[in-house]
Chains A and B, each alone.
Chain A
Amino acid sequence: MTTVMDAVQELPDKELLSRHAQGDEHAFGELVRRHRERMWAVAIRVLGDPEEASDALQDAFLSAFRGAHRFRGEAQVSTWLHRIVINACHDRMRRKMVRPAIPTDDVNLDVLSNERYKGTTPDPTSRTDAALDVHAALERLPTEQRLALVLVDMLGYRVDEAAAILEIAAGTVKSRCARGRARLLPYLAHLRNPEPPQDVTSPRGGGRKS
């Protein structure tokens, strides 16, 4: 049978957003259903902590809800949502910036990294452990490198997609990723080959700068 209304589920994102802006109360819920998993994936990887990520996600959806009229039609709704989530994460990070500034001395970092590694139960194959290590390492990066790496390396976005989300040039995304990877290398070297387990004392385990 034909009904008067279109099923919300079949409407494109942009239509949903504009309906929401015009007062349709179903439209935004559908957008949330469509995008929440992905937005969570972004937030949890940027922030590392589920509680922080869920706060950020809620902030983001509320701000999208309120700011739908600010959506510029030329962008993808998904890109716009990503940007809002990233901004919400950024706000959360800034609020947590009571923690000491990121050390920049590589030697120091290597020591910290090794200490940390020795301190944990040595189960390099543990995925959770790896995730924690990765997050701890990411936290050492300047925010802009971290965001670029989360999008490109962790979530597999194309450089141009990440560039659109972050509103920067594609070349900037690439260089942020490159510098971020270089910086992460000493902290993640022990995760290079999860199986077989790596020898912690191997020279490959630490910083290998010469």
Chain B
Amino acid sequence: MTSHVDTETLALLAEGLLEGDEEHSVQAHVGDCEQCTDQLSALTDVSRVLAEVPATPLPDAVTARIDDALRAELQSRQAPPPEEDAAPPEDDIAPVVPLRRRSGPARWLPYLAAAAAAVFVIGGGTAVLREVLAPSAEETAAPLTAPQPDGPPGPDAALSYYPVVVASGTDYTADGLAAQGRVLIERAGIQNAAGADGDAAAAAPLPSPSALPSDLSACVHHIDDDGQQRPKVIDLATYEGATAWVMVFGTPSDGTGTPVEYTVRVVTPECGSLGSSDDAVVAEAVVPGH
């Protein structure tokens, strides 16, 4: 009993890490030695003391800081090119792809989703998709909705197209489409677009979708292909019980910024992959603008 076992060897023994002979001799010694037995239990206590260190809860400030950092990271990804008319950079972080430009849904989608994310942070009842376009007279005269996300000043200044994406929960029907479309237009608050706050205009803000379908942008793109039409409101809903996207288009402006009439189109989620945009539209109704 002249030499005790050192603490490290005891710790290794406790972990079962000693080799055959050594394990046996150490075990034999510990069995006879009060001091080493004691030390062994002190080692167990080390683990216990470590486990008992109280948890420091994640401070809210840290949560907020991380959210801010990630938001800034998002925005830096979407930073606009200095010139709206300049050709977008060719890499896949091209921040802004004008809707009219045929550059493919894969590049358009990140922007779509990013814009919606920015709005969710604001906490409005309505998700706003924003798309930066080279400003045209009609659109700059009538930005579709507010509040504007806290974006970088560049794109905000040039913002001209804000499709509103909602998930109203409505099941649209063939018979009721015009009336339901009317309700959607009213609730989405796009009517008094010029200067109006989207949320304030809506009696009951429509629920935002928690995520955007990945092929939504392809679909919008597809439908847009045959003209200058871009939906002002997109409702991720159902039509006659089947999943459908209800899109509200404004017909040409009468000059006041409010379309003379709206066209409500029901499209299937497959619309982006169909040959003709006509195939995608399963129903259509016209709603007067005033």
Report the bound CA distance from A9 to B209 in whole Å. 12
Instruction: Please give, as numbers and ranges, the residues of chain B lying within 8 Å of A210 by CB-CB distance.
Output: 4, 35
**Total number of A residues with any Cβ neighbor in B under 8 Å:** 64
A81 close to chain B: CB less than 8 A: no
Check A156–B245 contact: CB distance below 8 A: no
The majority secondary structure among interface residues of chain B is helix
Which 3 A-B residue pairings sit nearest by Cβ, starting from the closest? A23-B110, A25-B117, A178-B11
Report the bound CA distance from A4 to B215 in whole Å. 10
B134 close to chain A: CB less than 8 A: no
Check B211–A22 contact: CB distance below 8 A: no
Check A61–B238 contact: CB distance below 8 A: no
With contacts A26-B120, A62-B70, A66-B73 known, is A5 near B212, CB below 8 A?
Answer: yes
Interface string of A23-58 (1 = CB under 8 A from B): 111111100100011001100110000100110011
Instruction: Please give, as numbers and ranges, the residues of chain A lying within 8 Å of B21 by CB-CB distance.
Output: none
Check B70–A29 contact: CB distance below 8 A: yes
B66 close to chain A: CB less than 8 A: yes
Given contacts A61-B70, A194-B52, A209-B7, 7 further A-B contacts (CB under 8 A): A24-B212, A26-B113, A40-B62, A53-B62, A62-B73, A182-B7, A208-B39
Check A181–B69 contact: CB distance below 8 A: no
A177 close to chain B: CB less than 8 A: yes
Check A178–B63 contact: CB distance below 8 A: no
Check B169–A1 contact: CB distance below 8 A: yes
Instruction: Please give, as numbers and ranges, the residues of chain B lying within 8 Å of A134 by CB-CB distance.
Output: 49-50, 53
Interface string of B200-225 (1 = CB under 8 A from A): 00000000011111101000000000
Give, as a whole number of angstroms, the nearest-CB distance from B55 to chain A. Answer: 6
Report the bound CA distance from A171 to B17 in whole Å. 8
A107 close to chain B: CB less than 8 A: no
Check B53–A131 contact: CB distance below 8 A: yes
Give, as a whole number of angstroms, the nearest-CB distance from A111 to chain B. Answer: 18
With contacts A29-B117, A134-B50 known, is A54 near B59, CB below 8 A?
Answer: yes
Give, as a whole number of angstroms, the nearest-CB distance from B181 to chain A. Answer: 17
Check A2–B17 contact: CB distance below 8 A: no
Q: What residues make up the interface of B, taking CB atoms closer than 8 Å to A?
A: 4, 6-8, 10-12, 14-17, 35, 39, 42-43, 45-47, 49-56, 58-59, 61-63, 65-67, 69-70, 73-74, 109-110, 113-114, 116-117, 120, 167, 169, 171, 209-214, 216, 236-238, 243, 245, 269
Q: 14 A–B contact pairs at CB < 8 A?
A: A1-B169, A1-B238, A5-B210, A25-B117, A29-B70, A50-B56, A153-B47, A175-B15, A182-B6, A182-B7, A192-B49, A208-B35, A208-B39, A208-B42
Give, as a whole number of angstroms, the nearest-CB distance from B218 to chain A. Answer: 13
Which of A72-80, A97-105, A160-168, A183-191 sits within the interface? A183-191
Instruction: Please give, as numbers and ranges, the residues of chain B lying within 8 Å of A86 by CB-CB distance.
Output: none
Check B70–A4 contact: CB distance below 8 A: no
With contacts A4-B243, A8-B210, A25-B113 known, is A62 near B10, CB below 8 A?
Answer: no
Which of A4, A6, A154, A182 contacts B245 (CB under 8 A)? A4
With contacts A3-B237, A45-B53 known, is A61 near B69, CB below 8 A?
Answer: yes
Q: What residues make up the interface of A, taking CB atoms closer than 8 Å to B?
A: 1-9, 19, 22-29, 32, 36-37, 40-41, 44-45, 50, 53-54, 57-58, 61-62, 65-66, 127-128, 130-131, 134-135, 149, 153-154, 156, 171, 174-175, 177-179, 181-185, 188-189, 191-194, 208-210
Chain A, Cβ-Cβ closest to B244: A4
Instruction: Please give, as numbers and ranges, the residues of chain A lying within 8 Å of B50 by CB-CB distance.
Output: 134, 149, 153-154, 184, 188
Instruction: Please give, as numbers and ranges, the residues of chain B lying within 8 Å of A181 by CB-CB distance.
Output: 11, 43, 46-47
Check B213–A5 contact: CB distance below 8 A: yes
Chain B, Cβ-Cβ closest to A132: B53
With contacts A130-B53, A131-B53, A178-B8 known, is A4 near B58, CB below 8 A?
Answer: no
Check B17–A178 contact: CB distance below 8 A: yes
Report the bound CA distance from A139 to B63 in whole Å. 26
Check A24–B56 contact: CB distance below 8 A: no
| Most A-side CB within 10 Å, residue of B10, B56, B58 | B58
Instruction: Please give, as numbers and ranges, the residues of chain B lying within 8 Å of A209 by CB-CB distance.
Output: 6-7
Give, as a whole number of angstroms, the nearest-CB distance from A185 to chain B. Answer: 6
Report the bound CA distance from A8 to B116 in whole Å. 14
Instruction: Please give, as numbers and ranges, the residues of chain A lying within 8 Å of B67 by CB-CB distance.
Output: 29, 32
Instruction: Please give, as numbers and ranges, the residues of chain A lying within 8 Å of B114 by CB-CB distance.
Output: 23, 25
Which of B49, B58, B59, B237 contacts A130 (CB under 8 A)? B49
